[in-house]
Each structure stands twice: as structure tokens, then as C-alpha cells.
Amino acid sequence: MRIVILDGHTANPGDNPWPQFEAPIELVCYPRTSHEVLLERAAAADILITNKTVLGKDMLEKLPRLKFIAVMATGYNVVDIAAARKLGVPVSNVPAYGTDTVAQYTMALILELCHHIGEHAASVAQGDWASSPDWTYWKSPQIELRGLTLGIVGFGRIGQRVGELAHAFGMNILYSSRKPYPELAFLAQHVPLDTLFREADIVTLHCSLTEDNRGFINKALLETMKPSAFLVNTARGQLIKEQDLEDALRDGVLAGAALDVLSNEPPSSDNPLLRAPGCLVTPHMAWASLAARRRIMQTTQENVMAFLSGTPINVVNT
């Protein structure tokens, strides 16, 4: 039994060793796999483990040896799950590893938008405080969260955890999701999407990417936001029409944005959001705490062992 990890570097850049599988299982780990060598590496596998390496229909049909795919993430859009189902290949994901880590990072982005801590630390480092005539200064408005309204789009595990943290800051919580959640540990109101964008001081995205919501953050929706509002995205970059957001930021339609994801990753150098005013972009790292990556590793191993025992778990294409 040969297990091939196609892109293991992000989960284990050196601080998170891969679990050991007992013989007769052979584990082969590649840090990255380009499209040019994907077929060669995947064809030798009974089990493939992937994070962001795409396994489309055309590729899957060329892998008659393949028996199981483990995705090292909650989102599994990198695999054509319909094609895998047709070929009789179960696909498992890691459903809950990043709830606390991503929620914490979301709050960090919100707080950075409110305080510009990095900008002020850089200002002090370059000598601005030492040469200041006053004992204090600030280069941007300092914003208190208490009493502001947070709009959460997508209210699964991460969205609810963000709501819980924001509630602790004294924020009012609105959320938009397919269904209401009446039993919560904090007060939150289920509202239509247009109401959420119109009333929220900060909108944060925590929904899955589907063909129905691809690019739904567009010019028309952005123009309903308050000019003082912020947009935060730690979900998927393809949810946003990036040129529309760049235009909105340049025109003052909203005050700022903080994005941990973009439509293409790594982005092209001409992505309009890399230079948009008031736009903070980080390199898709909200998920990447060591604690979260250890959970990914543990659950992935459990997914593989459950499949080998004949009782697969966390299967997304039943």
C-alpha cells in the first residue's frame, strides 16, 4: 500500500513531523507537486493526500490504482468529488481543525484595521516617537469595537466562534446563513444578506465557496456598505470580485479591507488588491498555527486508517 503526499510542505515546513505508518504501508512525501509531474507521482499511489494540489476529473480518470483521497483541509474544492464518486474513490476532509485558529486570526485582522498596530510600531522603529514633541501620537483613527455591529456571512463553526469572540468585545452580531441558529451562547440576529451589508460596521466572510456565491461581493453589494465600514475575508478569495473591491476602496465606498485569501494563490503581481488603498493582505495564513496543523495531521492519519479498516470517516462524496 503506497501513500503519496503531494504537497506536504505547508503542513510540515519542519516543525510538524508526519505520522509513521507501519509496514506494509509505504509513505512518500513531496513538499510540492507541479502539474508537469502530477501524473507520474499520483499514478504510483493507492492513497493520495493533498492540500492544494488540484485533482480534476481528467487526472482522476488516469489513476486506476487510486483507492482513496485525503484532503488536508476543510474545503475540498481542489478535488472533483463527483468524478471521484463515479470512480468509486472516497474523499475525506478535515472538518474542524481550524475553528479557533481562524477565528482568532479574524479578530487579529479586525483589530489591525481598528488600530494599525504594525504601522505604528514601524513608525516608532524609524524614530518618529523619539522626535515627537508630544508624549503620544497616532497616525490613524483609533476605533473601539464596543457598540459596533459585526456582520458574519456564513455561520458554521468558524463564523459562530468569531461571533462569540466579537460578542466578548461588546459588539452587536448579525449573521447571514442558510438557516437560523436559535440556540446560541450569545445574542445574534439572523438577517438577509442585503440587510447585513447595509447595517454592519464590519463584514467578515466565513462561507464555503460554491458556484452560486462565486464573486457575490461585487460593485452593487459593496455600494450598500457604510463608507466607514470594513470588509474581512479569511474564507475564499473567489467570493470577491477583486477589481470591484479595489474600485470601491479607491472611491471611498468603504473604509478598508483585510484579506487573508485572494482569487489566485500565490497572486499575480498585478492583482489590484495588492496596492489598493486601505487594503491589508496576508498570505493565506489564518489556518497555520502549529496547534491547527497538528490537528490536520492527526485527523488525516485517522482518515487514512479508518479507510484502511473498511470504515471511512469524514467522507464528503458519499
Catalytic residue among 26, 119, 144, 265: 265
Pairing of strands 47-50, 26-29: unpaired
Catalytic residue among 116, 161, 206, 284: 284
Is there a catalytic annotation at residue 265? Answer: yes
Is there a catalytic annotation at residue 284? Answer: yes
Catalytic residue among 116, 161, 206, 236: 236
| Residues taking part in catalysis | 236, 265, 284
